[in-house]
Amino acid sequence: MSSLLYSKHAKLIENCYPTIIGETAPKSSETSYLLFYASSRPAKLLKVANYLEKRMQNDTYKKRKLDTKVTLAIMNSLLTTCTKDINLFAKGVLKSISLVLDSGDHEIMWEACHTFGEFSAYYDGSALGVDKELTLLLDSLIIRFCSFCDASHAETQENVLKMKLLGLKAIGPLMSSELIKTTHARDYFDCIVPSLLVNIQQLEAKHSGNNAPKHEARSSCSSSQIPEVEECETELATVTVDALDSIALKHFRSLIRSCGAANLNIVTELAFKFLDDFNMWHRECYDISLVHFLIAEMESSYRHIVINEILRRLNSCTGGELNQKKVMLASMLASVLTNRTITVGISVLEILNALINHFNKSFDDGSEGILAFRESLLEAVGGLATHVYYPDQINDILSFIVNKLRLGSREETIDGLPISTLRVALLHCMSVVVSKNEKHTQEQAAICKIGIPFRIISPTLSLFMDENLTVRKGYGLFFLSYLDSDIENWSIPSRKLSSKGRLIYRANDPGTEFRTSIHEVLFDYATSNFTLPLDYALILFILKTMIRKFEHEEFVRAIPMLFKLQALNEHTPPEEALSQQALNQVIASYFLHASEVLEIPQLTTYTEEIISTRKADNQWWPELELTEPSDLEKLEGIEFSHLAAPLSQTPHATISLEKIKNILSWNSELCGKYADLEKRLSADYVPNANGYDFQNTKGRIRTSRIIDGLKPKIAQPARNKSESPLGETKPVKFETLRDALKSVNDYSEVDTDSSDRQSWSRSTTDKTRSVRSNVSDILSKISAKSSNSSLSLVNSPCLTSRIK
């Protein structure tokens, strides 16, 4: 020992210890010289480290607190100064820290935790796995500090809090250190993550005692209400539970922010494993707040990791009956997807498929809480409609669900589930997607609205004719939400005026053709033999929604269909008299609603008179006068015989077509839009006359001018009945042929308006001029001799009109 005292490095170290009573820190000037000496050569640094380790053994054995603190302070200075050569004295530092922890003195343990924090901050872990002794020393210290964080075995509550604070102080710098992000990261995270979470109680405490309904409680646990963690330095004497919460939350936040994608997967998995190990699935606010905290602290490109982990654990619960864990996972997923946080990289269709499968299978489960489970799943499906990251995402979601409807399938069950139940569930999902997306786009003005194309919805129109009433109702509710949404452009004008007053018609307007298909299927729906009061109420809701959306154009198109229904209704057999009167009530109610929407007072007065007459004759069902689609539940399971008092058999008053035409002919707006209004209203409606292929729509344009009328036609001259087909015909005169050629020359000069010429090329104009000059040359060379032809090859339509 005496030889050591006289060595240079030993003398420099001993000079650093204070000699004056009251001094607690190493002497600054001597310490600076020691650091210069140690950093000059690695061999000198190794000698300094070995001496400090031996000095620590003596001081801890003799319980010299002051000298122990000074030794730890010198080690701290070496760690900050000799960063590149930490491997040379790392084992000495870790052994010294372990000796201090064995002493059990909280005061010097506090300093040892600080030294370990310095070591964690500056050491890169380059020798871990290579130097087994160093690896074992580090692993044992991390495990020991993590055990402090869960020091429930301490004698008193005060000691429990102190031990937890010591553990959190020691592992805090590890959160952002490269030390634990090596190939052994999983082993370190297995200790660190539970040690942090066990001290985080603040997320739940903030919402404890909240007796709000479930959906409100879930929104109250959003990440926006998670308190900000303040930087705080808590001393051992003033430690509290709230302080531990804040420190643990700060460390957990630092860990998440400093991890890459691979480590974030580990952290997320361990967070859910913590909920499993401590059976915390019944603490809804804590669980959901924890998930929101994870997502809020991750970069947007990594947030899908949390959603994938929830989905993976939800899929792993499919084997058994419904339990609290399964319900909570569904609530987590719903809360995350309905949150407005940007989550890039989520697999929308994969999540949708899993949610729909769980939703369908839930109908076979009668466990308590199944309704809450279904509600969460539907919320999650609707949440997918608010996370729109590419233009056709909503269309892809709806197409995916439509494919699962099994349209046209004759199977009664699919995967053990009745097909009607399956379709009702899927239609409910579609309604949620459309309504949530519409609400989201209205709230977010910056979002570009993409309409839902008709090709996706048109195949589903056949569900109006499904034999199951629940399916018809479910589809009707979805269709109403679809009509109310910002769907594909319905209002493309089907005709317009050109600059020269000619009407230009659109040959195939998708919106018009789709509405025509709607009218056709509603016609078949209303005349089917399975209609019930709920069906008629649903038809009325759809007609009212369409008149509100498309106004005059829809009204003019719907009138022929309605009067066709009324005409067929007059020939209804006596046993179907009740449905006949219900359909007439729908027609009268529609005209009343249309008159109010379009503001036609005369029609309102006339319709009210008809309705009053029918009510006076006891031919009106108040039960069919519903105000909201949600009121359809009142008619479930009700047949016509279950309604109010029997209706009178007196012939009921019906809407008169002639009266309607007379009223509408005085409406300036309708007459201004439709010059052929009376013809349109009087048209005989022929259902299913215009087939339409929604998969191959083309925007062809045609004009009102009949081009075929300008072409020469091969025609046979008129003959008497007694004249033989092979008999002689009158010779054509020279003037006839000349005038015919001249008419062609005149019509070749007829040009279209500027709007029709935009697509013509220069070559077309040159060709027209060439034809014009050729005809003129022929006319100039014709002599005054008559033609010898016995058959007219050309019969110009223009010539015929002139002769007439």
- The tens digit of pLDDT for each residue in 436-465 reads 888 877 776 555 566 788 888 889 999 999
Give the model's pLDDT for residue 306: 94
Q: Are 618 and 645 in contact (CB under 8 A)?
A: yes
Report the C-alpha gap between 290 and 272 in whole angstroms: 10
Give the model's pLDDT for residue 427: 93
Give the model's pLDDT for residue 229: 45
Closest to 334 in 3D by CA, of 385, 277, 270, 273? 385
Quickly count: other Cβ atoms within 10 Å of residue 167's Cβ: 24
Give the model's pLDDT for residue 745: 54
Q: Are 247 and 165 in contact (CB under 8 A)?
A: yes
Q: Are 310 and 267 in contact (CB under 8 A)?
A: no
Residue 702: which H helix or E strand, with range? strand 701-703
Beta strand ranges found along 409-551 (DSSP E): 413-414, 417-418, 495-497, 503-506
Buried b (16+ CB within 10 A) or exposed e, 323-338: eebbbbbbbbbbbbbb
H helix runs in 198-240, sequence order = 202-205, 214-220
487 three-class SS: coil
Give the model's pLDDT for residue 676: 86
Q: Phi/psi of residue 115, each to 5°?
A: -65, -40
- One-letter amino acid at 122 equals Y
Give the model's pLDDT for residue 615: 86
Give the model's pLDDT for residue 748: 45
List of the chain residues with pLDDT < 50: 1-5, 205-232, 489-494, 497, 500, 503, 507, 691-728, 747-765, 767, 783-804
Beta strands 503-506; 495-497: pairing state: antiparallel
Tell me the CA end-to-end span of the chain in Å, nearest whole number: 139
